[in-house]
Structures are given as structure tokens and as C-alpha cells.
Chains A and B, each alone.
Chain A
Amino acid sequence: MNKFLMSTALTMALTLPAAAATVAEGDELAETQEYNFWLLDAIKTTDPQKNTDVEGSDVLRQIFEGLMNEDLQGGMIPGVASDYEMSEDGLTYTFTLRPEAKWSNGEPVTAKDFVYGWQRAVDPATASEYAWFIELMNVVNATEIVNGEAEPNTLGVTAIDDNTLEVKLTQPTAYFIKTLSHPTTFPVLQSVVEEHGDAWTQPGNLVGNGAYTLASHDLGVQITMEKNPEYWDAENVILDKLTGITVNDINVALTRYQSGELDRVDIPAGQYPRLKEESPDEAYSLPYACSYGYLVNMSDKGREELKDPNVRRALALGLDRDIIVEQVLQGGQRPSYNWTHWAMEGFEVPEIEMASMSQEDRTAEAKRLLEEAGFTSDNPLRLTLNYNTSEDHKKIAVVAQQMWKPLGVELTLNNMEWKVHTDRMQNQDFELARYAWCADYNEASTFLDYFRSTGSNYGEFNNAEYDALLDEAVTSENPNEQYTAAEEILAQELPIITIYHYAQVDMIKPYVKGLPLDNVMNSWYGKDMYITQH
């Protein structure tokens, strides 16, 4: 690298095309451009810094816009930021904001609005449950502010001028750009928040900068959003109205889809094959960035028997995942022998020996390992599996119980209410626990960080080599090498017995266009969609 480049910041200006609804050739637009989507439950808040839910994020992406958006494949494309530069050391990002970006009240969106939003997220006075997200992004002083050791205005984010935002990080962070479509990083207008207090998110008060404005919000009934004429790309937005309709029962939601009240719903477990056959152009199974498995308690409170890696291996080998996904779930999920979802961008699933074995061989090996550990049908290993109330969890648990029984494992199923289940996991009060993890951004570290010694990691898995690999990945040119190596450690140590990678199994009306079918994060934007004649 020459001296000039060494002495000046390395410029990585990326000017990318911004997406908007593009009508495909031959598609004729319907007269009414309205999209009715399903919400399982009430939207808890329309405050970007206080939201914690996936469904809340779906709504927030319509009424606010961050620095970056996601395209139909999950790649990052410009949002309010038209481009950005990264310094050579990877510690400073400078974003250029669109001067044409406006709030729904007509005021321009400025760098100060992002600074305010980000500071608000970490400010203890806001009490945001997602304050940790700004810490995860490694923004300077985020942790100190959350801990009350520094003032919010010391956060490493600065408005250089109205259209230039500078972000300073504590360490190079490969996934930083991918975090910028997350609602926690959306801007909010300070004057509106200060004028209305907690009620600033109510319809009539809320001022957003997204392609839609909040028209009404009846808690637990429906939320409606209408096209925002002030949005910088409003002329390319085709859908006029978005309505999120709450239906608390997935089977009822399917009925309402069939009656034409909803344009998209999830398919109840086990019904995908039938619906695919009946309506092949409406039933979809899309990869979805979540993984499911049985977490092993490896803490001091855990069972001694489960600290033997061979016992954990036997349990992992003994589960016929193909039967679980093909016979129980029947929704296009994939059996998993590793933790990170297979469809995460850039991630290569490592070769795991167990994955290439036949189930017969796996079962025989499992039996051998358990016998070595002293467990047979006559002297069974007695374990308890905790799971929270859900028909699917119950079905899988019963199948696991039956699959492990011939190996000499007697599994007691312990069904409990959601909060009790979570509380027990967090207090390491379990032997095996049903668990699932969903990605916050489209990169493998969102899964792998969970098993760091300092991660959430309820089973208290602790491996120095694993931690070192993930530390190395942060500054690595190709972090997927470290991610693959880290997965190999998980496959050896098995702090979780993975079972399947999620799929989003949906019914979508054929006249709805522009929904992402190849984005593992399933993040959708009304501004990219349209309705055809039907």
C-alpha cells in the first residue's frame, strides 16, 4: 500500500442503486393498490428505539427509513444514506445523506435526527430493551452510556453537517453496514418526541420518514399506513395503503386469507403439502434466518452426565431430523447439524461428519457411545426436556422422546408457560431446553456470537478457542473462514443439539408482487410492492 493511502483514510465510496417498485413486463396494475398483511399479535410499539418484535419491525420499516435498506435478495442498498465511506482502519464510517429526504411533516431529514435516534437508544432514561444493539454495532461509548458511566452525547456518532453523518467504532466490525436496516438505528424527530412524550407514536402525532405514514392503530385489531407524499421516492411508490390485520390464531388467519381479507398469512404446521398441491402458485416455503434445537445446560448447575461430550454426541446422533422436518413440520424446513442458518449471506455450512451418515449408522454409533458411558435400556439415562407451550414443540419433543428411548435414554417432557421456560433457562435451571435463535442481521456472527463465553448462552458453554476465532473474525478479510471453524467446534462440543433451520411457510396471493422471496431475513418494504389486476 503506498504512502498516500497509508496517510489518508481509505475511501470506500459505494454508490448503489436504490430500489423502488418496478413493475414487471406484462403486469397490469390493479386499480386499488392496497396490501393486507397478517399480524399474529398486537404491535407493541411504533417507536423504533423501543420495538423488540419482528412484526413491529415489519411496520417500522414502512413508516421510518434508516441509513440502509435491504433489497429483494437481502443485500444492503441505500436508504436515507446515498453512499458511505469507511476509513482505512475500519473504525470510522462517513455517510452522505440524501438532501431530498424529508419527514412526513415536510422537514428535511438531517444527520442530527440519526444522532438523536441513536443516542436515544442507549440513553438509560429511554430504557430501550434493544440498547444492546448499538453496543453490538461497536459504536464508541455505547456500553459506557448504557451502563450510566457516560453521557448520551458522548456516543460515537456525530452530525458533521445536515447531510453528513460520522460513526466511530471501537473496533472494525465486518457486519456493521448490515445492522443499519434494523429499526433501532432509525432516525426520530426530536421536536416531536419532546412535544408528545411517550404518546409521540400515536397516529396523528407520529412523524416518520418512511414511504408510509401511520394512519390508525387499534391495538390488537389493525394498523393502517397510507402513502407518504413527502417521501423522497414517493413517485416510485405504487401501493397506496398497507393494513396489518391482527388475527391471534394461525388457523383463523388462513380462513381469513381464503375469504380474501388477507393477502399473506403463515401456513399452520403440517398444512403446507396440502396447500401447495391445492394452490401451487400461492404456497411458498422460504428460508428464514432462525435455528431450532435443544440447548444443553453445561453450567455447574447442569447434569454431570451431559458434560460428557460423547453423551451429547449420542443424543445428537439419535435424532432423525429428516423425520422431524418431513413428517412432523412438513413446511420445507431443513434438518440441521450446525447452528448458523444455511442461507446466511456468505456463510458456508461446514462438512459435519454426522450430516453425511445414514440414520442407521448414526443410531448404532449413538448406542455405542451411550453404552460406553454406562447407559443401556436396563440402566437408562434419565433426562428432562423443558419446552414452552406450543403444539409444534410438543410434537417434536414427543418424537425425540421416542427416538431416544431405544438408545437407553428416558426423556421426561416438562411443558411450561413461556415466561417460566425463559426464566428457568436464564437461571440455568434445566437439563435440556427447547431453544431457537433468529438473526438480527444477515451475517453468521449473529448466530455464532450466542455461544461466546460472554454471549447470552444460557447453557454457559465456554471455549477459549471458539472465542478467539470469533474475535479474529471481526477484523478478518473473509470472516466466513473463522465462522466455519467456529461451527466445527460447536459440532464437536455440541452445546446445542440442533434440529432444523427455519423456513417461512406462507400463502401469498398471486397478485401481490415485490415481496422478497430470496431474502433470508424476510424483511419486506411496501414501497417495493404492487398489486396486479385480479
Chain B
Amino acid sequence: MFGFIIRRLAVAIPTLLLLIIFSFVLMHAAPGGPFTQEREVPAQVLANLEAKYGLNDPMWKQIADYVWGIVRHFDFGPSFVYPDRTVNQIIAQGFPITLTYGLLSFVLAAVVGVTLGAMAAIRQNTWLDYLAVGISIGAQVLPNFVMAPILVLIFTLTLGWLPGGGWSFQNADYWIMPVIALGTSYMASIARITRSSMLEVLSSNHIRTARAKGLPSRKIIMRHALKPALLPVISYLGPCFVSMITGSVVIDMYFSTGGIGKSFVDSALNRDYAVMMGVTILVGALTILFSLIVDIMYAWIDPKIRY
């Protein structure tokens, strides 16, 4: 297992490098640049700007300088659109926000989703199952861009309990609606996956044998059913976790949280190459890291899986 982890980490470096090169080339191939505006920047001013940010260098040099800056100082460069901020500052401000509401949403989605799914499977075709399935379907058909305005309508405009948007680490009032809006559709998916997986496991031979042996239901479910039933859930949780903690554009835009999801979209639209690269690398690195963690968890849950 240790060798597997080392091998995966070693592969991660060239993967990230390829990601950087591809992203860099693709970004520069898109029409327009960071200084393309409705009011054309005069040629000489544009030349001054390009000289300042090294955009007049050949692309290989720009990529090499960029990678060298990261390797030497973990410096992702200056933003081209926010001239008094560096990419490091933009990520340092936005990522903790996204991480906070992303983690909370993940916990909400995973805990409630698994509980609902498991309960629905155990009490199949009872009112509890119908209720759980109903909640899941309800949450699934209400994507976050629909959920967000509904929450604001209820909690801000009608009840006046919560602020309609913004962010504060000190005041949890700002977290509640983003967490619910982001977490519910994931929760529904997790519940559905857990339910079907659990039903499959509950009808398998080893559970029947356990029941025949007279083992108590609680023991059967906790020890023999839940663990294998969670394998497909964990496959889903890995990418789900990455997408939650790397930000949701809808949540950032609707609640003006200042999270990293909006920065990603803005940087692409503004051709803010450095910010876009920074966020791409962050998302890429987290994706690699969490797919590795999922693989490790797989091995822990099912020792038959060997790497």
C-alpha cells in the first residue's frame, strides 16, 4: 500500500505539469486577452502592460517562468485583472470560505444522505422508505440555483432571520443558506445510491446466512451490510467532496460569498490567465489527492482490494 501511495504521488507531478501546459496553451488560444476591453487600450499602453506581465515573451518561457515561480517560492504570480492582488492572495481569501461551506455541505450531505438511504433500505416499502425517497426526489429536483432563491424568500424576506448573502467567518448566520443550498442535491444523490446499494447487500447470501444464524438485526446491518454497501457511496463521495470544496459558482454568485468558484469562472471570462492557472492547479491537485484517499478507503473497507 505504501508503495502504491508513493507511485500515485510520483505520477501526480507530471500530471499536474501536463495540466499546466494544456491549460496555458488553451487559455492563450481563446480570442481576446486580459486587457481586451470595450474601449480599446492604445497599442503602446497594451505593449507596456504585456511587458509588465511578461506576456510578450514566447509561450514556452511564460510557462517555464510560471512553473519556476511555483517551485521556488510557491508564487502563482500577479492577477492581471486585480492589479493590486496576487493569485496567492485571491486564493487565500476565497478558498477558506469555499472550504468552510463546502465541508459543512459535505458533512450534511454525507451524514443525512447515508442515514436516509440506509433507513429507506432497511424499512423498504414502509412509510419511512416513502418519506426518505420523497425527500431525496424533492431535493434532487431542486437544484441549488432553485433552492437558493427559495431559501432567501423564506429565511430572509419572509422570516427575516438570515442575511440574504455575504460572508463572515465569525457569524454562522451567513453559512446556513449556502450550506443547505449546496448540500441538498448531493444529499439526495447519496441517499439514492446508499438505498439501492444497501438493498442489494441486504438481499445477498451472506446477510441471509447471518439472519439464519440468528444474529441480531442491528449487528447484521452495522457489521455486515453497511460497510460493503458504502463502497459505491465512497466512489461518489470522492469527486463530490472535491467539487464541493473547490467551489460552486451558483452558490458564490447567489450568496456573494467571495468563494473560489466565482473566481474560477471570472478568471476564465476575464482571461485572467494567472488566476485561472492558480485555481486550475488547486482543483487539479485536490482531485488527484482525493482520488488517492478514496482508493485508500476502498482498501480499508474491502481488504480484498489490493493495489
Chain A residues within CB distance 8 Å of chain B: 41-42, 44-47, 50, 52, 124-125, 127-129, 131-132, 135, 146-148, 198-202, 218-222, 245-249, 252, 255-256, 258-259, 261, 417-420, 422-424, 426, 435-437, 456, 458
Contact = CB atoms under 8 A, between A and B. Distances in A.
Interface of B: 30-33, 35-42, 44-45, 48-49, 51-53, 78, 81-85, 90, 93-94, 149, 152-153, 156-157, 160, 163-167, 252-254, 256-258, 262-263, 266, 269-271
Contacts of A125: 48, 52
Contact of A45 (B30, B84, B153, B252): B84
A45 B48 contact: no
A456 B36 CA distance: 13
A146 B45 contact: yes
B29 to A, nearest CB: 12
B166 A419 contact: no
Contacts of A132: 41-42, 45
A44 B35 contact: no
A219 B52 CA distance: 23
B44 A148 contact: yes
4 closest cross-chain pairs (CB), A and B: A419-B32, A221-B258, A423-B32, A127-B52
A259 B160 contact: yes
A221 to B, nearest CB: 4
Contacts of A218: 93, 167, 258
Nearest to A429: B31
Nearest to A440: B39
Given A221-B166, A245-B256, A419-B36, A146 B271 contact: no
Contacts of A146: 42, 44-45, 48
B256 A220 contact: yes
A456 B39 contact: yes
Given A131-B45, A220-B258, A249-B253, A418 B269 contact: yes
Given A47-B83, A219-B93, A256-B164, A247 B40 contact: no
Given A218-B258, A256-B165, A426-B40, 18 more contacts: A42-B266, A47-B83, A124-B48, A125-B48, A127-B51, A129-B45, A198-B78, A218-B167, A220-B258, A245-B165, A246-B258, A248-B253, A252-B165, A419-B32, A419-B271, A422-B37, A435-B38, A436-B38
Given A127-B49, A219-B93, A419-B30, A147 B44 contact: yes
A436 B42 CA distance: 18
A46 B84 contact: yes
Nearest to A42: B82
Contacts of A436: 38
A199 B79 CA distance: 12
Contacts of B166: 221-222, 245, 261
B41 A219 contact: no
Nearest to B265: A248
A222 B93 CA distance: 13
B84 A47 contact: yes
Nearest to A205: B84
A384 to B, nearest CB: 16
